[in-house]
Amino acid sequence: MHKVYLLIGSNRGEKKILIEKAQERLGLLSVNPVLSSSFYESEPWGFESDEWFLNKAILIETELYPESLLRQILNIETDLGRVRGAQKEGYESREIDIDILLYDNMVIESEILTIPHPRMHLRKFVLEPLMEINPDIIHPVLLISVKDLYLNCPDKSAVRRT
């Protein structure tokens, strides 16, 4: 059984409904009930938009291997309206975004997948909901707890629990 921490976010459309649908679908991949954070609103990170993001972190326990889980996540995103164009620089608004933050204590760097998420330690909107679920989990590369990552995070953008 693999413990996987995910972040679900949206800044387009019916954000809360889309996140709840994504969580429900991800729950089907979990052998135990999903553990989830509250919802958090945050400013767009890395690009300009009038629409703030709504995010939540979840923990699933799955038998899927990382690449198989990624394929399932991409299918869920597509089913919920995410359109991926040609790879381009920067970030943009999206209906749904599901990121694998941590997968057990694994460290993976491949063409299609990087675990732990390479920028999670730089983003308050990731760390705050993750800290609600498990502040003591250790980042497998930085060897620092999520709580300490949050306390030392350079990100000063607004994040608020809803």
- Please identify, in words, the CATH class of the domain defined by 2-161: alpha beta
Find the mean pLDDT for residues 49-65. Answer: 93
Is the pLDDT at 129 greater than 90? The verdict is: yes
Find the mean pLDDT for residues 130-155. Answer: 97
Contact 33, 71 (CB under 8 A): no
pLDDT at residue 159, as a whole number: 95
pTM of the model: 0.93
Residues 6+ away with beta carbon under 8 Å from 77 = 22, 84, 96, 97, 98
d(CA 35, CA 159): 21
d(CA 79, CA 12): 15
**66-120 pLDDT per residue, tens:** 999 999 999 999 999 888 764 555 566 788 999 999 999 999 999 999 999 999 9
HSE-up of residue 5 (Cα within 13 Å, Cβ side): 27
* C-alpha dihedral sign at 34, 36, 41, 47: negative
Is the pLDDT at 56 greater than 80? The verdict is: yes
pLDDT at residue 15, as a whole number: 96
Where do the structural domains in the chain lie, given as residue ranges? 2-161
Look at 60 and 84; give whichever has higher pLDDT. Answer: 60
pLDDT at residue 99, as a whole number: 96
d(CA 89, CA 114): 18
Place of tokens 């609103």: 41
d(CA 139, CA 145): 6
**9-52 pLDDT per residue, tens:** 998 889 999 999 999 999 999 999 899 999 999 988 766 777 89
Active-site positions read 82, 94, 97, 99
